[in-house]
């Protein structure tokens, strides 16, 4: 296991009208290759801010961030991002949305046929071959999110970053996509960082759960190692004592030690 | 009291009468057979359609009738103003030969319309070529926006005709000066609407562009342009409207062939019927341009 993403003493300050606002402080985290990390915390704790930092969408005010030994200076194709609200371009079909990413990463080295093949494969991976030529407004929310995942995966990223990817979906669709994500992560050996506010989702999917303290000036409160064998099955885990222990630990952190006075 | 009693009694009689039930059945059967007859239903549906059409047509027709009525009344009390009937007669003669050509000062109405449309087309086209890219750049680059904002706010409210002398001075000819006036008055809505469209692009789309590391060209063709297109179409529609509004006035001052000049020429000839016809022609052509662009804009709207 090699450290793939390194975050050292990162601090993020936003300049607001009321003066500087410290969103994150003293963030230290090493993410190993192939690891599945969940970032959990109450809303406003800066978990999305941390994800955006890893994505390179914003740069830290202080501290160092490395990905594969190189400083993160901006977004890069080795870090695929799945956005909270799918962020598909409405004027492009599902195929074209994914193709845009494929073309950017592999366009210079590969032929058009090969780019199209990659796009088909990415959509097949999330089970959307039948909806390739539909526009985003013609498909369901769960399908849109899957296209978003396919777009991120099609770039063959080393790290997959997901910002509350299933937050807007109904419970059944969410469970289905969680299972698919587990399968895809196992197949592609991806390193995954996922922001979530769902305790079950965090325990089910991750190897480590990074629990954040409340903002402002949020930091990592505790890191929980989830030592459950893979592949994991949600039905079997429902009666697993260890699973409930982990779940209890996260709930304890969120609702006893970090309970917000007014939220 | 007695009346009620009588009816109660008669009702009871009818109810108890076995014939009522017997005759009731065929009546119902007749009614259903009438409804299911194809010829009848077709007639009913046609009637409904005509009814809707009439309902939909009545207000505009009534409005036009009222307008023509007032016009007729006013023209009766003022002998110089020709009435609707006289104007209609004159229009029939005018449009019977729209493309005659008896020298530059006496051409058919068709030539005049085409000349005006051509000027608007050139002036508007050049305004689009300059205004739309400029709008994109203003929306995309904050520095450019801050730099050009004062100039735009200063020049935009200036009456289009105030630019005519500058055009005459620079181009030393009437025709380019008229086109210049169209250009300068049509450019502002396109710059402003395009720039607003660019600045209103959802930040999510720009995040996608950043994450995918898209080139500036891809950002333009795949994100900026499609996202801004509806705003741009609004700008284009407003611009065409302004351009068509301004052309008559500009041509009155510059002369040559064109609707504006034609109006002025007919004023000098004291042919008031033709002036009224020109007003209608300007209005109808403007309406057609607007409708064409509305249709075009509908084609380019997403979701």
Domain total of chain A: 1
Q: Tell me, yes or no, whether A94 lies in a domain.
A: no
Q: Tell me, yes or no, whether A174 lies in a domain.
A: no
CA angle (B124 as vertex; B118, B126 as ends), nearest 5? 105
Kindly tell me if the per-residue pLDDT of A259 is higher than 80: no
pLDDT (0 to 100) of residue A261: 54
Tokens of B116: 């005006």
Cα nearest neighbour of B223 on chain A? A89
SS3 state of residue B127? helix
Kindly tell me if the per-residue pLDDT of B41 is higher than 90: no
Looking at chain A, the whole-number percentage of residues with pLDDT higher than 90 is 37
Residue with token string 């429902």 = A238
Cβ atoms of residues B181 and B120 within 8 Å: no
- Per-residue pLDDT averaged across B104-126, rounded? 88
Domain holding A212, by residue range, is 1-72+193-263
Tokens of A219: 């930091």
Q: Tell me, yes or no, whether A130 lies in a domain.
A: no
* pLDDT band for position B37 (cuts 50, 70, 90): low
CA gap A162, A254 in Å, rounded: 21
Cα A148 → chain centroid: 12
Which of A57, A100, A104 minimises the CB distance to B207? A57
pLDDT (0 to 100) of residue B121: 93
Q: Tell me, yes or no, whether A80 lies in a domain.
A: no
Cα nearest neighbour of A107 on chain B? B214
Asked whether the ipTM of the predicted complex exceeds the cut of 0.90, the reply is no
CA dihedral B243, B248, B251, B255 (to 10 degrees): 160
Residue with token string 């609004």 = B234
**Short-list B176, B52, B53, CA closest to B119:** B176
SS3 state of residue B108? coil
CA gap B281, B116 in Å, rounded: 11
Q: Tell me, yes or no, whether A182 lies in a domain.
A: no
SS3 state of residue A23? strand
Summarize pLDDT for B215-229 with one digit per residue, the tens. Answer: 888 888 889 899 999
Residues 6+ apart with CB under 8 A from B90: B82, B273, B274, B277
The H or E element that residue A100 is part of is: helix A94-106
Cβ atoms of residues A213 and A41 within 8 Å: yes
Cβ atoms of residues B181 and B246 within 8 Å: yes
How far is B297 from chain A, CA to nearest CA, in Å? 15
Any CB–CB contact under 8 A between B204 and chain A?
yes
Residues from chain A that touch B208, judged by Cβ atoms under 8 A, are 83, 87, 89
CA gap B52, B45 in Å, rounded: 11
SS3 state of residue A11? strand
**Short-list B99, B102, B160, CA closest to B127:** B160
pLDDT (0 to 100) of residue B33: 45
- Per-residue pLDDT averaged across A191-204, rounded? 92
CA gap A168, A174 in Å, rounded: 9
Kindly tell me if the per-residue pLDDT of B22 is higher than 50: no
Cβ atoms of residues B213 and A102 within 8 Å: no
* pLDDT band for position B38 (cuts 50, 70, 90): low
* pLDDT band for position B106 (cuts 50, 70, 90): confident
**Short-list A198, A169, A191, A174, CA closest to A41:** A198
Summarize pLDDT for A90-141 with one digit per residue, the tens. Answer: 999 999 999 999 998 898 889 999 999 999 998 988 888 999 999 999 998 8
Give the mutation candidate from A91, A93, A160, A193 for the B interface (greatest B CB count, under 10 A).
A91
DSSP string, A49-86: HHHHHHHTSS--SEEEEEETTEE--S--TTEEEE-TT-
Tokens of A230: 């893979």
CA count, 13 A, side-chain hemisphere, B41:
8
- Per-residue pLDDT averaged across A55-84, rounded? 88
Kindly tell me if the per-residue pLDDT of B265 is higher than 50: yes
DSSP string, B170-228: HH-SHHHHHHHHHHHHHHHHHHHHHHHHHHTS-HHHHHHHHHTT--HHHIIIIIIHHHH
Residues from chain B that touch A168, judged by Cβ atoms under 8 A, are none
CB contact under 8 A, A89 and B214: no
Does this model's pTM top 0.95? My answer is: no
Residues from chain A that touch B204, judged by Cβ atoms under 8 A, are 83, 85, 87
Kindly tell me if the per-residue pLDDT of B4 is higher than 60: no
- Per-residue pLDDT averaged across A225-254, rounded? 90
* CATH number for A243: 3.40.50.300
Q: Of how many residues is chain A composed?
A: 263
CA gap B167, B169 in Å, rounded: 5
- Residue A56: phi, psi to the nearest 5? 90, 10
Kindly tell me if the per-residue pLDDT of B142 is higher than 80: yes
Task: Quote the mean pLDDT of chain B.
Answer: 83
Least confident span in A131-135, B17-21, B108-112, B236-240: B17-21
Residue with token string 């079950």 = A200
Higher per-residue confidence, A12 vs A86: A12
* pLDDT band for position B70 (cuts 50, 70, 90): very high
How far is A48 from chain B, CA to nearest CA, in Å? 14
Any CB–CB contact under 8 A between B83 and chain A?
no
Q: Tell me, yes or no, whether A36 lies in a domain.
A: yes
Kindly tell me if the per-residue pLDDT of B35 is higher than 80: no
Which of B213, B227, B303 minimises the CB distance to A77? B213
- Per-residue pLDDT averaged across A68-73, rounded? 87
Kindly tell me if the per-residue pLDDT of B93 is higher than 70: yes
Residues from chain A that touch B207, judged by Cβ atoms under 8 A, are 57, 81, 83, 87
Highest mean pLDDT among A200-209, B16-25, B31-40: A200-209
- Per-residue pLDDT averaged across B71-100, rounded? 86
Residues 6+ apart with CB under 8 A from A25: A11, A217, A218, A219
List, edge to edge, every strand of the sheet that includes A159-163.
A79-82, A159-163, A191-196, A36-40, A208-212, A220-225
CA gap B233, A188 in Å, rounded: 45
Q: Tell me, yes or no, whether A9 lies in a domain.
A: yes
Q: Tell me, yes or no, whether A3 lies in a domain.
A: yes
């Amino acid at each position: 296991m090699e450290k793939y993403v390194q975050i050292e003493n990162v601090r993020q300050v936003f300049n607001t009208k009321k003066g500087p606002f410290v969103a994150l402080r003293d963030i230290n985290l090493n993410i190993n290759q192939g690891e599945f990390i969940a970032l959990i915390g109450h809303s406003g704790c800066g978990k999305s801010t941390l994800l955006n930092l890893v994505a390179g969408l914003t740069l830290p005010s202080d501290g160092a961030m490395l990905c594969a030994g190189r400083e993160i200076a901006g977004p890069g194709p080795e870090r695929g991002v799945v956005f909270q609200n799918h962020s598909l371009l409405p004027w492009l079909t599902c195929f074209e949305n994914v193709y845009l990413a494929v073309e950017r990463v592999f366009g210079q080295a590969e032929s058009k046929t090969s780019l199209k093949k990659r796009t088909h494969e990415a959509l097949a991976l999330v089970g959307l071959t039948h909806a390739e030529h539909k526009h985003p407004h013609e498909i369901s929310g769960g399908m849109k999110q899957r296209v978003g995942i396919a777009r991120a995966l099609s770039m063959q990223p080393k790290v997959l970053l997901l910002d509350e990817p299933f937050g807007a979906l109904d419970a059944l669709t969410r469970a289905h996509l969680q299972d698919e994500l587990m399968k895809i992560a196992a197949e592609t050996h991806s390193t995954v960082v996922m922001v979530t506010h769902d305790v079950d989702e965090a325990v089910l999917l991750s190897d480590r759960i990074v629990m954040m303290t409340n903002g402002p000036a949020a930091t990592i409160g505790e890191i929980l190692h989830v030592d459950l064998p893979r592949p994991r099955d949600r039905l079997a885990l429902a009666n697993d004592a260890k699973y409930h222990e982990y779940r209890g630990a996260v709930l304890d952190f969120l609702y006893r030690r970090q309970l917000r006075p007014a939220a | 009291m007695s009346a009620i009693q009588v009816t109660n009694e008669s009702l009871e009689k009818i109810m108890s009468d076995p014939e009522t039930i017997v005759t009731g059945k065929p009546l119902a059967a007749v009614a259903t057979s009438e409804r299911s007859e194809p010829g009848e239903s077709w007639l009913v549906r046609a009637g409904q359609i005509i009814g809707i059409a009439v309902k939909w047509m009545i207000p505009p027709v009534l409005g036009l009738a009222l307008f023509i009525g007032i016009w007729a009344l006013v023209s009766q009390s003022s002998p110089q103003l020709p009435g609707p009937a006289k104007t209609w007669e004159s229009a029939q003669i005018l449009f019977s030969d729209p493309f005659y050509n008896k020298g530059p000062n006496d051409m058919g109405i068709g030539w005049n319309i085409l000349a005006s449309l051509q000027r608007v087309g050139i002036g508007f086209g050049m305004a689009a070529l300059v205004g739309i890219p400029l709008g994109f750049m203003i929306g995309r680059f904050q520095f450019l926006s801050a730099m050009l904002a004062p100039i735009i706010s200063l020049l935009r409210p200036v009456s289009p005709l105030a630019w005519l002398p500058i055009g005459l001075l620079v181009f030393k000819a009437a025709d380019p000066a008229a086109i210049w006036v169209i250009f300068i008055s049509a450019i502002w809505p396109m710059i402003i609407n395009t720039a607003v469209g660019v600045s209103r692009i959802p930040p999510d789309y720009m995040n996608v562009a950043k994450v995918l590391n898209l080139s500036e060209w891809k950002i333009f063709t795949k994100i900026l342009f499609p996202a801004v297109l509806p705003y741009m179409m609004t700008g284009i529609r407003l611009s065409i409207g302004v351009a068509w509004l301004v052309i008559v006035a500009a041509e009155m001052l510059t002369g040559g062939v064109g609707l504006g000049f034609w109006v002025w020429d007919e004023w000098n000839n004291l042919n008031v019927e033709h002036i009224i016809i020109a007003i209608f022609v300007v209005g109808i052509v403007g309406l057609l341009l607007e409708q064409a662009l509305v249709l075009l804009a509908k084609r380019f709207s997403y979701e």
